[in-house]
Amino acid sequence: MAKVVFAKLRSQFDSCCFLKNFTEKYKKHGLEYVRDELFRELSKDTSLGRLNRRKVLIVLDDVSKTKQLEELKSEVPHFGPGSKIIITSRDKHVLIVGRVDKIHEAKALSDNNSLELFNLKAFHKDGYESEYEQPVKRALAYAKGIPLALTVLGSLLHSRPADQWEDELSKLERMAKEDIQDVLKLSYDGLDDEVKEIFLDIAFFFKGRSGQYVEAMLKSFGFHASIGLGILVDRALISLSHDAVWMHDLIQSMAFEIVRKECKNPGGRSRLRNSDEIIDVLKNNRVRKIFTFF
């Protein structure tokens, strides 16, 4: 969305810069590198000294810390009247503390837009043959309006016959596709250890439970539940709706995969959900701890 807005508005400004992967560049190369890239783009047809008289458009893509914004702000001059800065972040708190004028939350695509995007990737056209009708419906139900999931799924299934779609979708429903997971996991990787534990507990035990119940249970384990839940909401890893804690199925699948990779032996994992694995672990005395939730 930021790319589209940038492309539509850039002709209205004197100087423009779309600074991609801000956090990654900041961590790898430091503030000076990011600042210099910004200055190079903005001063292509003018001098740095004249930027305070120019109307500029800047997109800072993927900012993860308020401190990054504060440090960059101290390094750049004031820009001319009418200048705009757009910031994208997976953490709503960054935008709030950064005192942005307006926050736009990305929503899942509508059914029509989901179908349009999926068809573009899967068939490279608007429609499809009748034999694909049910597999397409199944794929759209799996992706649930997430542009990334629609894009990856469409690309994965492109040019394959319908019977192969069914096999691939069956596998995907059992385990999330890695390249979908990798992007979703970026938000998880940025959490501290305690909030990661809260996230995994919600995925395994508390999805759909009332917010009051979830917070009370987490507090009983010694977690700082209130702030932890708030962070997860800001990262869009969970949502609170009708006083219940919810999590998108793809994000929950990511959590299951994270725990599965903890240990090849199910008894060495921090959490279990498969009934056969639970029975095997209990019968063979392979478990370290057992928690039961009623």
pLDDT in tens, 116-153: 999 999 999 888 888 999 999 999 988 889 888 888 88
Residue 80 lies in a domain: yes
User: Coil, strand or helix: which one is 239?
Assistant: strand
- Evaluate whether 238 touches 245 at the Cβ level (below 8 Å): yes
- Report the domain count for the chain: 3
How far is 1 from 195, CA to CA, in rounded Å?
Answer: 29
- The residue-averaged pLDDT of 245-270 equals 88
Q: What CATH number does the domain containing 210 carry?
A: 1.10.10.10
- 48 and 9 both lie in a single domain: yes
- pLDDT of 5 reads 94
Is residue 272's pLDDT more than 70?
A: yes
Residue 274 lies in a domain: no
Is residue 189's pLDDT more than 50?
A: yes
- 8 and 93 both lie in a single domain: yes
Residue 183 lies in a domain: no
- 84 and 140 both lie in a single domain: no
pLDDT of 195-239, one tens digit each?
Answer: 999 999 999 999 989 999 999 999 999 999 999 999 999 888 898
- 67 and 132 both lie in a single domain: no
Residue 81 lies in a domain: yes
Residue 248 lies in a domain: yes
- 10 and 92 both lie in a single domain: yes
- 8 and 92 both lie in a single domain: yes
Residue 293 lies in a domain: no
- pLDDT of 52 reads 86
Is residue 274's pLDDT more than 60?
A: yes
The two tokens of residue 111 are: 């059914």
Helices (runs of H) and strands (runs of E) counted in the chain: 15, 5
Q: Average model confidence (pLDDT) for the chain?
A: 88
Is residue 96's pLDDT more than 80?
A: yes
Q: Find the domain containing 143 and state its range.
A: 111-174
- pLDDT of 134 reads 93
Confidence class of residue 294 from pLDDT cuts 50, 70 and 90? Answer: very low
pLDDT of 74-92, one tens digit each?
Answer: 888 889 999 999 999 988 9
Using alpha carbons, select from 242, 150, 251, 265 the residue that is nearest to residue 203. Answer: 251
- 87 and 139 both lie in a single domain: no
| Beta carbons within 8 Å of 230's beta carbon, 6+ residues apart | none
Angle in degrees, 0-180, between the axes of helices 31-42 and 22-29, rounded to the nearest 10: 130
- The residue-averaged pLDDT of 152-164 equals 87
- 13 and 38 both lie in a single domain: yes
pLDDT of 34-74, one tens digit each?
Answer: 999 999 999 887 777 788 889 999 999 999 999 999 999 88
Confidence class of residue 181 from pLDDT cuts 50, 70 and 90? Answer: confident
- pLDDT of 283 reads 81
The residue among 65, 97, 129 that closes a domain is 97
Question: What one-letter code names the amino acid at 89?
Answer: S
The residue among 145, 174, 203 that closes a domain is 174
- Evaluate whether 55 touches 198 at the Cβ level (below 8 Å): no
Positive/negative CA dihedral, 211, 216, 217, 218: positive
Question: What one-letter code names the amino acid at 128?
Answer: Y
Is residue 292's pLDDT more than 80?
A: no
- pLDDT of 245 reads 93
